[in-house]
Every structure is written in structure tokens, then in C-alpha cells.
Chains A and B, each alone.
Chain A
Amino acid sequence: MTYAPGPNGTKAELRKSKRQVCTIIDLNKCIGCQLCVVGCKNLWTKRPGTEHMRWMNVTTNPGKGYPRDYAKKGGGFRKGKPRPGELTSMTDCGDNFQFNQKEVFFSGKGSRVHFKPTDFKGRDPSWGYNWDEDIGAGEWPNPYFFYIPRKCNHCSNPACLAACPRNAIYKREEDGIVVIDQERCDGHRHCIEACPYSAIYFNPVSEKSEKCIMCFPRVEKGIAPACDRMCTGRTRAFGYLDDKRGQVYKLVKKWKVALPLHPDYGTSPNVYYVPPLGAREFAPDGSVTDKTRVPAEEMERLFGPKVHYSLRMQREEREKVRKGGKSELIDILISKNWYDRFGDFTKEPLEQYEA
């Protein structure tokens, strides 16, 4: 059962959870294929008013991210104090482009007319989801980029929950998943302004705010979230943070290589990332060096000062294996057995429909 104290609950009650489910994403292995995005989209955001939403999204870093410039929109907490934030627009959220299929395929003008998208106001698009894909940064011969898949972080100190004047947002007691009670939400969008990750979206049809629900109807039946299961690159692990047998615990608590994105936002996220070592740099003579192309300050900006420990640990354990040794960390990251990734959540999606 979900835990909903209602309008008279205190913020502390709304934040309370006994356990916490987490997703881990290994950025060394994410190839930006968007399968996680498609899995989520098909399951949750095909309803009227949700067309622009990508509760799960994958964008290129460096880049503006999704929603556009989310990292510049404020929100979250600084030194424990709320920081004002901004709303997202339809264009920021990647829009819902319409294409001239009828004209191209059925008007007899197929040899002269080309496919052309228009934005939600019928204009030529000026921005869209992954508009800046794979641009990245850096100079030849050492350009760099990597992908950052993002969804709601189901934070332990959610700014959205603090911001909602109607107490419509709460953490589920049994698993720490942050949900928006659609009955209580009045669409005021203070949560969207407060979330420093811009992970909440406004539905202009229902006039309510929506977000990733960590596939809780699946999680309740022992099935991992769709995005985590869809990942073809085995970048994902999912499970309870306190399950010492699970890979989530091992990567976050034991090996300390998985870190939250922007811990400086003060919300204590529960999606963790294994920061990428990055491609190695070419020396001026064309030889390959041991240096990474990704600037250390860029990594620290994203993952905080603990990123240096994580990167060092990944390098040391890789080196150990290269020399013929064994490493639990590298075995986990390689993920030889896919089911080991999902702790208590290894049931097949179709099992939920079985009697």
C-alpha cells in the first residue's frame, strides 16, 4: 500500500520511507541508443497532454540537456535553503513535432515534397529533443562527449515535495518512490520550478504535473523499471539501497564508485552514475596517452569531488584485471549475468498478468 498522509501531513511525514529503491547507470557503457526512452514512452507517456514528456531521457554531455538548460534553471537547495527555479516550456521539453506524412505519402507529390517537421505552434522547429546530440566539446584530435540518461531521482530530500503547497507529493513508505497524487495536484507547478533536475512535466490537458513513477506498478510485482530492463548495454542496476547482496549496494556503498548527479543541488538523489573514464587522449605525435579527454573539472562539476575517488578506483581495478587478477567491481560492471543486476526485481514483465 502507498503511504499518503494527505493535506494535513507534515513535510517530514511526506518524506518518510522505510526503504529506498535506486537505479545505477554506468556511463562508461551507455551508447545513447534511447531504448530506455522508448520503453518508458511506450508505457507511460502516450496519453493526451503527455506527448512532449520524456520521463526517461538521454542527452549528450557537454550539452544543454533535457529539458533544455535544466542545469541553469535553479531549484533545489543551497546550504539547506530553497533556491528559486524556473518553469520549462514546450520547446524546452522537446516539443511534439508533427510531420507532413499525408502530403509526402498520399498527395501524389512525393517526388517534390520532403518530410518537414513543425513545432506545436506550426512553426519551423528551433529546438527539439537531442537537438545538440553528439556535438560535445574539445578540440581535434581530442573531442569528447558522453551520454547522460536521466529520470526522476526519487530524492531523499525532494525539492518538489517541499514546494508543493497542496502536499500532493510524497515518498512511498515501502520503497521511497516519489509520486504526485493526481487527485490532489492542482497544476500550480511550484514543483517544476523547485526540481533542480527539471524532472517534472506539466500536462496541459489534465492541467496537472507528472513525472517518472519508477514503474511502481511493476516494482510492486518484483519487476524492474522498464528503462532499466530495456537497456541493451547492461548499463543499469536496480534494487534496494540497503540490500547488501545487490549490485546497487555494492556500487554505491561498498565500492563507492556510483555517485549522484549534481549532489550540490542538495536533494540527495537516488539515481546513481558510474562516471565515465572517457576516451584516452592523443598526444601531438598521434600516440595514445593514458590521460582522459574529459576535463577533471567537468567531472567534478557533474558529480562532485568524490568523482576523483570513483575514477581512480575504476582505473585501479581495471589494471588489476588487465594483469590477470580478479575484481568484484569489474565483474559487476561487465555484468556477465544480466539478472544479477536487478536484486529482488528479476521477474519478467509478462508475469504480472499471470494468475
Chain B
Amino acid sequence: MKALKVDATSEELLDAGSTLWRKAETVAIHMFPAPLGMVEERSPFLALNKDHGAIETMKGSAIHNTKALAVRISWEVSTVKDRLDDLDDFVDAVGVMFPLDEDALAMTMGSKDALTNVWYWKANHTEPYDVLSKGFGSTERRPGSSSKLAVVAKRRGNIWDVIFTRPFQVDGGAEFAGFAPGETTGIAFAAWAGANNERSGMKSISGEFSELVIGV
């Protein structure tokens, strides 16, 4: 995926209707159920689940204005879940992951020696989380305000359209992914279908990190 350089304010990056986004390359993201065998030690009960992974494909694109990166994801769900109507309800959610270390693996959400950073949005919240992950089960949800991570989520029928944006660099942010024009980093995706009771490791993932080129 290539993040196209555009001439825009950071607020304009969040405008899904803007012509800026029409110029960006849109890629199809193949999603598959997260393999839960590897979490058996962490949760043998979670590892019993087999019916997750309802979201099979998403579309992704990215733009930047040399100061902030914006990543846009859209996907269709069979039934929209954007609130908790009962105690056994779960909501739609999406995550975009970046490595903080070149050795970090997306499949394990990093490790204690190779961290990852996830931009996470869930449909019943307006503010996103800027998550630090040191491996499966170790995530730390930091409020989006801690890094100026912003999100706009729109829905047309059963199709979610979510745009995240965040400054390239976070002040004092060794534990936040940083970006710069001309650089290449990794990007991976995860999505949770609330109607299918998906949460935690019960999700669809895009697999290992693929390249994200920050255009010049």
C-alpha cells in the first residue's frame, strides 16, 4: 500500500467525501480467521473457538500531508452492531497495526522485545485507542488523545467506512509508530464482526505485515 502525498490540512484528511481520497490507491485486503491454536496456553477456552473470521475482505487506502498519516478502511458486515443492547452483545471494530521494531510479527501482535502499535476503533465509541502491544494478550489501550489519533467512522447500509489519522511523530513517543515521507514501514489489519460475537483473538486478520510506502 502506498500513502499518497496530498496537499491538505489534517482535518481534511478525515473527510471521506473529499476528492483527496479519489486519487489514493485502493487495495483489496484479503482477511482470514485468526489462528487460535497459538493462544492455547494463554486461554485454552478462547482456543476452542472456530466460528470467527466473518469478515473476508476489506478495502484499504492511505494518504498523508507530510505531517500526518491517514488510513482508510471499508468493509461490509452482514449485520451492523454499533451498540451493546444486551450483556451478550459485541460491536464491530477494526484495527490497523504498525511495527515498532523491524523484527515484530503481526501474527503475534509483536512480542516483549519487538513491539507493535495498533490504531483501534470500536463502533460504540467515538474516540479511538492508540494501542501498544507486546504480544497476544498484552495490549495496552491508550486513549486516542494521548497521541492525537483521530477517527471518523461512517456507515452506508452495512458498509463501514473508517478513516484514522495521526501526526507522523508523537511527542516523546518511543512507543508510538512514527512515519516520514520516503520511508517504508509495515501495515496489517484486523476486523471484528460484532454480530458474530467476535472480540479479542476471535477476529479476521490480514496476516503478516505488508509494505506501507509513505510517498514523497
Contact = CB atoms under 8 A, between A and B. Distances in A.
B48 interface: yes
A126 interface: no
Contacts of A164: 43
Interface in A41-68: 52
Interface in B1-59: 39, 41-46, 48
Contact of A8 (B84, B138, B141): B138
Given A82-B44, A163-B43, A165-B42, A87 B88 contact: yes
B174 interface: no
B86 interface: yes
Sorting the interface of chain B by its residue count into under 10, 10 to 19, 20 to 34 or 35 or more gives 20 to 34
Interface string B183-216: 0000000000000010111000000000000000
B39, B48, B87, B136 interface centre (most CB from chain A within 10 Å): B87
Interface in B68-120: 84, 86-88, 112
B77 to A, nearest CB: 19
Contacts of A89: 86-88
Given A7-B138, A84-B48, A190-B45, A90 B199 contact: no
A143 interface: no
A159 B138 CA distance: 20
Interface residues of A, number: 32
B143 interface: no
19 contacts: A7-B137, A82-B48, A87-B88, A88-B88, A89-B87, A89-B88, A90-B86, A92-B87, A163-B43, A163-B44, A163-B45, A164-B43, A166-B138, A167-B137, A186-B141, A187-B199, A189-B199, A190-B43, A204-B87
A contacts with B: majority SS: loop
A93 B87 CA distance: 9
A162 B84 contact: no
A190 B86 contact: no
Nearest to B41: A11
B88, B136, B139 interface centre (most CB from chain A within 10 Å): B88
Interface of A: 7-8, 11, 52, 81-82, 84-85, 87-90, 92-93, 159, 162-167, 186-190, 193-194, 201-202, 204, 207
Contacts of B138: 7-8, 166
Contacts of B86: 89-90
A163 B46 contact: yes
B87 A8 contact: no
Contacts of A8: 112, 138
A200 to B, nearest CB: 11
A87 B89 CA distance: 9
A237 B39 CA distance: 40
A190 B46 contact: yes
A82 B87 contact: no
A204 B139 CA distance: 21
Contacts of A85: 45
Given A7-B137, A165-B42, A166-B137, A90 B87 contact: yes
Q: Which 10 A-B pairs have the closest CB atoms?
A: A163-B45, A87-B88, A165-B43, A188-B200, A7-B138, A165-B137, A194-B45, A82-B44, A202-B87, A188-B199
Contacts of B200: 165-166, 186, 188, 190
Given A87-B88, A88-B88, A90-B86, A82 B45 contact: yes
Contacts of B48: 82, 84
Contacts of A162: 43-45
Nearest to A201: B87
A165 to B, nearest CB: 4
A196 to B, nearest CB: 11
B116 to A, nearest CB: 14
A90 B89 CA distance: 10
Contacts of B141: 186
A208 to B, nearest CB: 12
Nearest to A92: B87
Nearest to B91: A207
